[in-house]
């Protein structure tokens, strides 16, 4: 298969890799950016982007699904995440552009698949930032309660499906992040490091305190719901591993990517999984697995129950409030830039890639994203958001794993900064694991996902297929680089 001109008419048209490269490296002086990210920093990026997406809220959802065997679920989800991250890294190093798996798919599997992946990414980024901000709302309430003895009324703290009217704090969080992004605020590598320290510190605090009330009895029966339960829990838990892609996409700015990338992925996965499992073990050691169901701001509540005093819960809540804020900022940012890349390709209206001359930020794009995410965060129950996020992420990752195989066959000579070790076993395993976890998601999620893809298909065929710059023969090779 080659990208010949008759193919331009097909919805499977592919954007040449060279076109991507020209678009991001037009000016020579900026082209060879310093390969400045080292192993330690990259690992920190992975840990920083990952911890905080879910561990503060996931036990409530996952432990009742699997019982103490949730530990196995964590390992399963961790392995899957690491395998997909490695595959992701190969594509990212071959097609060094932003826009993440959307761009990779555009180059390997064609436009319509790319659009579908973009729809999945909207779940991975947009919906996950909504889910994360709902968790933030719980911890904010817990923090207020511990500090001031004040609780927000349920009506403004829960989505309509969960007995409230709207989730007001979650909307506030999205608005705050929106304002920051519109002003061009950025999280720097230093801030990220500080965030990592805060997150890990409060989680370790939790583990230490929880171990003082540890009871082995809570671990029997180990897997009350059998292997099925483990799979179901893993499918929810996968949500907490989102963010590992922060490592994979670093390809061209990394010293010696061949060595650094896989090591950083492995180290980040090990650190993250270890922390998660410690938290899970400590939590289960304190209470029966059934007690987790419905616990809001779960970790803080457990601490309060053990110690009988407010301060450990307050410290943990404060840590959660600060670090979830930064995670929301990073994910929202990712979402705006994916839509930006799509706007550039003509898949979305011009409004998504206009830049405000004052802030030098795609302001309208950011506003649209934040309204969408804010509405989700305010009005959709947390469980639904989490499952949808896992769904979107896993589908995107499966496509990426398959994409590695496709690109190796169609364009074997393309320079690759990083190659998947153990090819072809690794991408096949990766896709296999991801598909298994997908199969464990509840029916309702599949239904919602189908609706979502349907909406995406309508948008694609009514707008994008006609406006695609590739279809109109524009700009594939882009204007001459100056």
Partner 1 sequence: MSYLVGLTADRGGRDALALGRMLARTGDVTLTVCIVLPEVWGHPSLARVDAEYASFLASYAEDTIAEAREFVGDAVRAEYVSTSARTATEGLVTTATQTDADLVVLGSARHGPFGRFAVGSVTNEMLHTAPVPVALTPRGFSPSSEARLRRITCAFAGSTRSRTAFDAAVQLSRRHERPLRLITLVVRDRQMYPSQVGYSAERLVAEQWRAQAEEAQSNALATLPEDVAVEAGVVSGRNWEEALDSLPWEEGELLVVGSSRLGPVRRVFLGSNSTKIVRSSPVPVVVIPRGADVHLDDTTVSRSSEPER
- Positions in the binding site for partner 1 (CB under 8 A): 23-27, 29-30, 33, 37, 44-46, 48-49, 92, 96-100, 125, 184, 186-189, 191-192, 242-243, 245-246, 249-253, 330-331, 333-334, 337-338, 340-341, 344, 353-355, 357-358, 360-362
- For the bound state, the minimum distance from the C-beta of residue 386 to partner 1, rounded and expressed in Å, comes to 18
Q: For residue 474, what are the β-bridge partners?
A: none
- For the bound state, the minimum distance from the C-beta of residue 176 to partner 1, rounded and expressed in Å, comes to 16
- For the bound state, the minimum distance from the C-beta of residue 368 to partner 1, rounded and expressed in Å, comes to 16
The encoded tokens of residue 282 equal 């400590």
Q: Is the dihedral of CA 181, 318, 242, 229 positive or negative?
A: negative
The stretches of 238-310 forming alpha helices (DSSP H) are 245-248, 257-286, 298-307
Name which of 69 and 250 has its Cβ closer to partner 1. 250
Name which of 47 and 299 has its Cβ closer to partner 1. 47
Residue 440's nearest CA partner among 163, 239, 301 is 239
Q: 467: buried, middle or exposed (CB in 10 Å: 19+, 13-18, 0-12)?
A: middle
- For the bound state, the minimum distance from the C-beta of residue 234 to partner 1, rounded and expressed in Å, comes to 21
Name which of 29 and 217 has its Cβ closer to partner 1. 29
- For the bound state, the minimum distance from the C-beta of residue 252 to partner 1, rounded and expressed in Å, comes to 7
- For the bound state, the minimum distance from the C-beta of residue 57 to partner 1, rounded and expressed in Å, comes to 19
Residues 6+ apart with CB under 8 A from 167: 134, 137, 156, 157, 158, 159, 377, 378, 379
Nearest-5° Cα angle at 113, 107 to 116: 125
Q: Are 15 and 476 in contact (CB under 8 A)?
A: yes
- For the bound state, the minimum distance from the C-beta of residue 307 to partner 1, rounded and expressed in Å, comes to 33
Q: Are 114 and 299 in contact (CB under 8 A)?
A: no
Name which of 254 and 313 has its Cβ closer to partner 1. 254
Residues 6+ apart with CB under 8 A from 70: 59, 62, 63, 230, 233, 237, 280, 284, 289
Q: How far apart are CA 179 and CA 356, in angstroms?
A: 14
- For the bound state, the minimum distance from the C-beta of residue 68 to partner 1, rounded and expressed in Å, comes to 32
Over the range 68-104, which residues count as b (16 or more CB within 10 Å of their CB) and which as e? bbbbbbbbbbbbbbbbbbbbbbbbbbbbbbbbbbbbb
426: left (phi over 0), alpha (psi -120 to 50) or beta: alpha
Name which of 166 and 469 has its Cβ closer to partner 1. 469
Helix (H) or strand (E) holding 345: none
Name which of 304 and 416 has its Cβ closer to partner 1. 416
Name which of 98 and 411 has its Cβ closer to partner 1. 98
- For the bound state, the minimum distance from the C-beta of residue 60 to partner 1, rounded and expressed in Å, comes to 25
Q: How far apart are CA 288 and CA 301, in angstroms?
A: 14
Q: How far apart are CA 133 and CA 314, in angstroms?
A: 18
- For the bound state, the minimum distance from the C-beta of residue 362 to partner 1, rounded and expressed in Å, comes to 7
Name which of 59 and 327 has its Cβ closer to partner 1. 327
User: What phi and psi values does residue 37 have, to the nearest 5 degrees?
Assistant: -90, 125
Name which of 134 and 341 has its Cβ closer to partner 1. 341
Name which of 13 and 353 has its Cβ closer to partner 1. 353
Name which of 30 and 415 has its Cβ closer to partner 1. 30
Q: How far apart are CA 78 and CA 278, in angstroms?
A: 14
Q: Are 181 and 366 in contact (CB under 8 A)?
A: yes
User: What phi and psi values does residue 167 have, to the nearest 5 degrees?
Assistant: -100, 95
- For the bound state, the minimum distance from the C-beta of residue 295 to partner 1, rounded and expressed in Å, comes to 29
């Amino acid at each position: 298969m080659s990208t010949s001109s008759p193919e331009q008419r097909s919805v499977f048209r592919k954007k040449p890799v060279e076109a991507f490269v020209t678009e991001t490296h037009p000016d020579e002086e900026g082209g060879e950016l310093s390969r400045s990210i080292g192993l330690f920093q990259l690992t920190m990026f992975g840990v920083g982007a990952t911890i905080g997406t879910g561990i503060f809220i996931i036990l409530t959802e996952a432990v009742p699904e699997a019982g103490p065997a949730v530990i196995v679920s964590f390992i399963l989800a961790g392995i899957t995440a690491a395998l997909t991250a490695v595959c992701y890294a190969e594509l990212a190093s071959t097609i060094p552009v932003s826009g993440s798996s959307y761009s990779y798919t555009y180059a390997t599997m064609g436009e319509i698949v790319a659009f579908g992946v973009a729809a999945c990414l909207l779940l991975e980024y947009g919906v996950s930032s909504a889910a994360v901000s709902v968790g933030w709302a719980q911890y904010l309430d817990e923090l207020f309660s511990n500090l001031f003895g004040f609780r927000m009324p349920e009506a403004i703290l829960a989505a309509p499906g969960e007995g409230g009217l709207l989730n007001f704090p979650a909307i506030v969080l999205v608005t705050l992040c929106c304002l920051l992004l519109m002003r061009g605020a950025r999280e720097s590598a230093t801030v990220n490091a500080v965030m990592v320290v805060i997150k890990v510190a409060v989680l370790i605090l939790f583990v230490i305190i929880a171990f003082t009330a540890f009871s082995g009895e809570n671990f029997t029966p180990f897997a009350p719901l059998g292997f099925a339960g483990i799979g179901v829990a893993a499918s929810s838990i996968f949500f907490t591993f989102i963010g590992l892609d922060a490592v994979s996409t670093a390809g061209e700015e990394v010293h010696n990517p061949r060595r650094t990338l896989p090591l950083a992925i492995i180290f980040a996965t090990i650190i993250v999984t270890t922390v998660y499992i410690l938290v899970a073990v400590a939590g289960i050691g304190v209470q029966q697995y059934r007690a987790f169901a419905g616990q809001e701001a779960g970790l803080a509540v457990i601490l309060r129950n053990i110690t009988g005093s407010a301060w450990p819960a307050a410290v943990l809540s404060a840590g959660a409030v600060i670090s979830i804020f930064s995670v929301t900022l990073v994910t929202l940012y990712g979402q705006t830039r994916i839509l930006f890349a799509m706007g550039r390709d003509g898949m979305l209206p011009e409004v998504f890639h206009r830049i405000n001359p004052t802030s030098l930020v795609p302001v309208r794009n950011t506003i649209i994203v934040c309204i969408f995410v804010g509405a989700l965060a305010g009005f959709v129950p947390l469980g639904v958001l989490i499952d949808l996020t896992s769904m979107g992420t896993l589908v995107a990752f499966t496509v990426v794993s398959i994409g590695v195989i496709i690109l190796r066959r169609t364009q074997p000579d393309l320079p690759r900064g990083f190659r998947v070790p153990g090819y072809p076993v690794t991408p096949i395993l990766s896709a296999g694991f991801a598909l298994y976890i997908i199969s464990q998601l509840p029916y309702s999620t599949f239904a919602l996902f189908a609706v979502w893809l349907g909406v995406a298909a309508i948008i694609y065929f009514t707008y994008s297929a006609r406006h695609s710059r590739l279809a109109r023969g524009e700009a594939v090779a882009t204007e001459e680089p100056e």
